[in-house]
Amino acid sequence: MRFENDNGALVCRHNGETLRIEAWGKDSLRVRSTMLGAFTGNDWALSETPAPAQAAVTVDSEDHWVGDGTIDKREIASIVNGRLKAVVNFAGVVSFYRDDKLFLREYYRMYDGTLSRGSRCLKVVGREWKGVIGGTEYSLNVKFESDPSEKIFGMGQYQHGLLDQKGCVLELAQRNSQISVPFAVSSLGYGFLWNNPAVGRVTFGKNYTEWIARATREMDYYITVADTPKEILANYTAATGRADMFPEDRMGLWQCKLRYRTQEEVLSVARRYRDEGIKIDQIVIDFFHWTVQGDWKFDKTYWPDPKAMVDELHSMGIKVIVSVWPSVDRKSENFQPMMERGLLIRTERGAAQTYDYQGDCVEIDPFNPETRRYVWEVCKRNYADYGIDAFWLDNSEPDYGVYDFENYRYFAGPALAVSNLYPQMYSRAFYDEMKKTGKPVVNLLRCAWAGSQKYGNVIWSGDIPSTFESFAEQLCCGLNMGLAGIPWWTTDIGGFMTDDVNDPAFRQLLIRWYQFAVYSAVLRMHGDRGPYNIPPLDDRDWGGGYLHTGQPNELWSYGEDNYKIMRKYYDIRIGMHDYIKRLYEQAHTDGSPLIRAMFYEFPEDPKCWQLQDQYMFGDRYLVAPILHLDQFEREVYLPAGSWTLTSTGKRYAGGQTVTVDAPIDYMPVFEKD
């Protein structure tokens, strides 16, 4: 092993590998290695200029047992940035110390007298590179020792119903309702970013932690230490970016359904809300308002005057957001120009097709800057120039017909190496241009990656079933998304897939979900509501009239009693406007999410690290959602302090678990005194 100090960075060379460790902001280090002789220069999620840091690099020696009873001296090197130290021994094993206390070390099992424990004849190294046959990429397997008592949070959105990711195996890949944002917050006081958009897997096992990239040119991760999760997230978002300030005029109710089929439907809904005295901040025009996928324009048969529609909505103080998909049908007027110019995803074998829902489609390649320009120019001409305020960038994983990642290739390389970055690049086709107008950019996406928070992305949790089980899963998803640095997160109220809107069980679920949504970042009505007994508008197999629509999904659509409850909670939301504005300001200034795991606000309370069925909405409100059918009371744990139950005004001392009533028109919420 050869060590050198490269302008404050520790560089180690051994067996053809170059390892580089350098300061990257406050109490943080970036660790990279490659077998190719030179680094790519890609910063990936680490897009922000790190704060100046004075790292100290030293080269020393340590005792080494040779095997014949004698002791030899071998070089060892370290780099210190504030409270964080990395030590590399003569075999290249990296260990990390917080305030000189070991908290993480590479997993290494070799018979060479190193720090290896257990069986040293396994011949397992911490960084395993295997060349991808016929390419310049490698598959990479990085292992770390595991502390079985550790808890792991963040990592994005996985539909497994667990807040603590310890013991989980997580696919590092984007799918509908699965979002890989590979930043982990540890109960041991550190944060870890796998700064690599390759498709792969992470296993947070009891015996070891294992990160796998199926195709990559370099290892790249970032590690930071602090006393609290809030400080860890502040360090991380300083390195990856923070959300813009959310506009006040979209902090209220967003109205949506699958799907408003005509211009007149949209206007009639908006007028009814106005007549009911309910201000909606934004109305959403969902998919298949267009002619053909990839035309990115209104079907004039049903949307004859989009500008007049937008002008009337604006006169009511309502913003307008329109669905845009990345799929381009072969029948689209844009297919041939985009295919010829190389602006679509390429397949490695077989037919050029990546998506087959309602058409024979190939999806755009947003890694290509020319693609981003092309798509924006079309959407500007056909939407933004009419006054459309925002874009619903659906299917942004992208949603492949088959998730055969090795069969797809982008402008930036094979999908196996970069695919997880797709949703972020897709969003930038719009954000980068919209930002030039000086107006706030708030677009809606179904997927994200590390750093997506800085590109005007409201992320929703995907096409999920309308069940109480799914509702509970979404709470864990939202809390972990926030801990992964994504503060603008929402769900389809009531879930997306409903068979029968008249089912009393569904209506109960809808109310409980709506109550939760009031105490979340974005209050948004949406869903695909059965039964599907509404005939199509025409008999064409294309255009805005042929696809089905769901049942009504406005606040008044579910009976007078439910309407009263939703109006009551709408008023609660509007009454919290100034408070919600402050929470968005915190997200902008320090990266704090709006919905927060209990330990985020109470890190010294061991009980709070165990809870996943209640949360903090900011620092003031403790929210206890009702997550089961016919549940009309529940237990709530109150941390230290004094708490007031908002339904009765009764005060409770903290440090105890209490049982409180939860009638259908009330979700337990405690205000911290």
Average of pLDDT values for 401-430?
97
Catalytic hit among 210, 218, 220, 394:
394
List the chain domain ranges: 2-240, 248-324+373-393+419-589, 597-672
Can you give the pLDDT at residue 570?
Answer: 98
The beta strands (E) that lie in 118-178 are given as: 127-131, 138-145, 152-157, 169-172
Closest by CA to 439, choosing from 390, 380, 489, 385, is 390
pLDDT at 64: 63
Backbone torsions φ then ψ of 394, nearest 5 degrees: -80, 165
Site of tokens 């590998």: 17
Q: How far is CA 227 from CA 99, 215, 234, 398, in A?
A: 11, 35, 11, 37
Rounded Cα–Cα distance for residues 58 and 127 (Å): 23
Whether 397 is a known active-site residue: answer yes
For 182, the 3-state DSSP assignment is strand
Domain 597-672 superfamily per CATH: Golgi alpha-mannosidase II (2.60.40.1180)
User: Would strands 280-285 and 253-255 be described as parallel, antiparallel, or unpaired?
Assistant: parallel
Amino acid at 79: I
The active-site residue out of 145, 231, 329, 463 is: 463
127 phi-psi bin (left φ>0, alpha ψ -120 to 50, beta other): beta
Write the DSSP symbol of residue 114.
S
Distance (Å, rounded) from C-alpha 69 to C-alpha 91? Answer: 20
Q: What are phi and psi of 32, to 5 degrees?
A: -130, 150
What six digits make up the tokens of 509?
């679920």
Write the pLDDT tens digit of every residue in 553-598: 999 999 999 999 999 999 999 999 999 999 999 999 999 999 999 9
The pairing of beta strand 208-216 with beta strand 200-204: antiparallel
> Which top CATH class is 2-240?
mainly beta
Query: What integer pLDDT is reported at residue 118 of this predicted model?
Result: 55
Cis peptide before 668 (omega within 30 of 0): no
Q: Which residue has the higher pLDDT, 110 or 275?
A: 275
Which pLDDT score, from 0 to 100, does residue 37 have? Answer: 86
Same fold, 248-324+373-393+419-589 and 597-672: no
Quick: pLDDT tens for 192-213. 999 999 999 999 999 999 999 9
Q: Identify the DSSP state of 437.
A: G
Helix 306-315 × helix 263-276 angle, to 10°: 10
What CATH number does the domain located at 248-324+373-393+419-589 have? Answer: 3.20.20.80
Q: Which residues of 643-671 are buried (b: 16+ CB within 10 A; e: fewer)?
A: bebbbeeeebebeeebebebebebbbbbe
Q: What are phi and psi of 638, to 5 degrees?
A: -110, 115
Q: What is the pLDDT of residues 605-642, one digit of tens each?
A: 999 999 999 999 999 999 999 999 999 999 999 999 99
Q: Which CA distances in Å does 442 have to 211, 431, 490? A: 33, 8, 13
Burial of 628 (0-12, 13-18, 19+ CB in 10 A): middle
Of 231, 397, 473, 492, catalytic: 397
Q: Which 3 state secondary structure label does DSSP give 260? A: coil
Tokens representing 57?
Answer: 């690099």
pLDDT-based confidence at 403, cuts 50/70/90?
A: very high
Unique residue bearing structure tokens 């390649």:
365
What's residue 114's pLDDT? 52
**How much is the pLDDT for 113?**
53
- What DSSP letter does each residue of 452-508 carry, written as one string? GGGGTEEEE--S-BSSHHHHHHHHHHHHHHHHTT---EE--TT-SEES-TT-HHHHH
**Secondary structure class of 3 (helix, strand, coil):** strand
530 sits in which H/E element: none
Q: How far is CA 420 from CA 122, 188, 222, 269, 402, in A?
A: 33, 27, 17, 37, 16
Rg (CA), the chain: 26
Does 281 participate in catalysis according to the annotation?
no
Encoded tokens for 326: 């990345």
| C-alpha to C-alpha distance for 458 and 243, rounded to whole angstroms | 10
Residue 463 annotated in active site = yes
Residue 65 pLDDT class (50, 70, 90 cuts): low
pLDDT at residue 41 above 70? yes
How would residue 183 be classed by pLDDT, with cut points 50, 70 and 90?
A: very high
| Segment 537-549, tens digit of pLDDT | 999 999 999 999 9
Q: Given this model, what pLDDT does residue 66 score? A: 55
Verify cis geometry, omega within 30 degrees of 0, for the bond prior to 540: no
In 3D space, the residue among 202, 200, 107 whose CA is nearest the CA of residue 155 turns out to be 202
Question: What is the average pLDDT value for the chain, to the nearest integer?
Answer: 96
pLDDT tens-place string over residues 373-393: 999 999 999 999 999 999 999
Mean pLDDT for the stretch of residues 219-247: 98
- What's the pLDDT score for residue 513? 99
Single-letter amino acid code for the residue at 470: S
358: left (phi over 0), alpha (psi -120 to 50) or beta: left
Residue 82 CA: distances (Å) to CA of 29, 226, 227, 238, 528: 10, 10, 13, 16, 52
- pLDDT one-digit tens code per residue, 108-151: 998 665 555 556 688 899 999 999 988 889 999 999 999 999 99
Using alpha carbons, select from 426, 424, 442, 391 the residue that is nearest to residue 584.
442
